[in-house]
Chain A
Amino acid sequence: DGGITQSPKYLFRKEGQNVTLSCEQNLNHDAMYWYRQDPGQGLRLIYYSQIVNDFQKGDIAEGYSVSREKKESFPLTVTSAQKNPTAFYLCASSWTSGILDEQFFGPGTRLTVL
C-alpha cells in the first residue's frame, strides 16, 4: 500500500524549541517537497529535494532545515529562528522534479507553538 506518511498529525511545542517533522514515502520517488499552508493562503514551498543528498531552498526557507540521507525520508526541522512556526505542514513527493510529474501529498502535520 504505497503512499506518503507524516507524523505526528498534531504537534505542540513551546516557543524557542526546535521540532522535527517526519515525512516518509514508499513510492520510490526521487523528488520530495515541504510546503506550509496558512489560513487564506496557498501552499508555499519551504524546501525541495530532487535526489538523495541534495536539496534546495524554496520560497520561505528561513528558520527551517532539512536533510535527505535516504530516498524515502525527508525530515523538516522547524528551528527557533522561524518567527511564526504555527501552521499546517505538508510533505509531497514525485517521480522526478520534471514538469509533468504529479506531486502526491501526505496528510499533513499541524504544528502549534505555544
Chain B
Amino acid sequence: DQQVKQNSPSLSVQEGRISILNCDYTNSMFDYFLWYKKYPAEGPTFLISISSIKDKNEDGRFTVFLNKSAKHLSLHIVPSQPGDSAVYFCAAKDAGGTSYGKLTFGQGTILTVHP
C-alpha cells in the first residue's frame, strides 16, 4: 500500500508563475516531511522539510504547507525558473517504533518550467 502519494505524475508551468506540487499521506504516525529534488541519472537532493508541529516552512522561493487534518502537504515554488525542472519527491518519516530514520517516498512529480 502506498503510504505517501503524489497523484500528479507531471506538472507544466510557465517561467515566473507559481508551481504547486501536492502530496497526500495515510500513516498518521508520520511526523516529519521532506521534499527532495532529483535530476535524471543523479541522486535526490534535499530541498525543504517541515515538522508536524508546524503548518508552514519557508526557504527562499520554496514554501511547504502541511495540513495534518487532511493528511496533505504541498510545495510552492515562486517564482518558478527553468532550472527548477526536475522530479520532486515528497517523503515522510515516522519517529516511533523501529522505523525511525526511514524515509517513505511518494512516486514523484515531474515539474517542467517553460521559459
Contact = CB atoms under 8 A, between A and B. Distances in A.
A4 to B, nearest CB: 7
B96 to A, nearest CB: 9
Interface in B85-115: 89, 91, 93, 95, 98, 100-108
Interface residues of A, number: 34
B102 A102 contact: no
A87 to B, nearest CB: 13
Contacts of A102: 34, 46, 49
A91 B44 CA distance: 10
Interface residues of B, number: 28
B107 A41 contact: yes
B101 A48 contact: yes
A50 B42 CA distance: 24
Contact of B44 (A45, A98, A101, A105): A105
Given A107-B42, A108-B42, A45 B103 contact: yes
Contact of B46 (A31, A35, A98, A103): A103
A110 B9 CA distance: 22
A40 B9 contact: yes
B43 A4 contact: yes
A58 interface: yes
20 contacts: A4-B43, A9-B41, A41-B107, A42-B4, A43-B89, A43-B103, A48-B101, A48-B102, A58-B102, A92-B43, A94-B101, A96-B101, A99-B93, A99-B101, A100-B32, A101-B101, A104-B46, A105-B45, A106-B43, A107-B42
Interface of A: 4, 6, 9, 31, 33, 35, 40-45, 48, 50, 56, 58, 90-92, 94, 96-108, 110
